[in-house]
């Protein structure tokens, strides 16, 4: 896989943070877990349940040698989401995400979580046709 970076841009590869000082192209010749700087969510931006799930999975991807604490947190957060959600699209997405995380396919899981952000926003705004959360 070949990626191009602009001067000053960062890439996170297998737990290491690399910053380039000039425009560069990198060819990754083996399997690595990486995130481009634009895909990294800051803790302050994890303001909703799905964004928090994204942040947790991101931690798992960025530090693959020590996923224990993040995996435990992921399990708790994912279970809490399943307990309150009844929107079928969201439930299907959470099931797919759990399968990806279980298979250490963290980058794919992050993409799937990002795809659910608009649905979560609609749910929080109350613009869905049916309540997405179970009655308390």
Q: What integer pLDDT is reported at residue 98 of this predicted model? A: 98
Q: What is the pLDDT of residues 78-98, one digit of tens each?
A: 999 999 998 999 999 999 999
Alpha carbon distance 63, 59 (integer Å): 6
Looking at 16-105, list the stretches that DSSP marks H as alpha helix, in order from N- to C-terminal side.
49-62, 68-84, 88-102
Alpha carbon distance 20, 9 (integer Å): 6
Question: Taking the model in full, what pTM does it have?
Answer: 0.80
Read off the pLDDT of each residue in 57-76 and give the average, rounded to a whole number. Answer: 90
Which residues sit opposite 36 in a β-bridge?
Answer: 11
Residue spans per domain, the chain: 2-38, 41-125
Q: What is the pLDDT of residues 99-113, one digit of tens each?
A: 999 999 999 999 999
> For residue 129, is pLDDT > 70?
no
């Amino acid at each position: 896989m070949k990626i191009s970076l602009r001067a000053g841009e960062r890439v996170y590869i297998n737990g290491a943070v690399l910053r380039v000082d000039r425009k560069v192209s990198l060819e990754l010749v083996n399997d690595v877990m990486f995130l481009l700087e634009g895909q990294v969510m800051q803790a302050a931006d994890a303001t909703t349940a799905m964004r928090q799930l994204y942040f947790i999975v991101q931690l798992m991807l960025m530090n693959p040698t020590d996923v224990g604490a993040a995996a435990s947190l992921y399990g708790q957060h994912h279970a809490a989401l399943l307990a309150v959600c009844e929107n079928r699209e969201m439930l299907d997405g959470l099931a797919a995400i759990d399968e990806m995380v279980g298979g250490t396919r963290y980058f794919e899981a992050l993409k799937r979580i990002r795809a659910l952000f608009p649905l979560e926003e609609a749910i929080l705004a109350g613009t869905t046709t049916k309540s997405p959360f179970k009655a308390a």
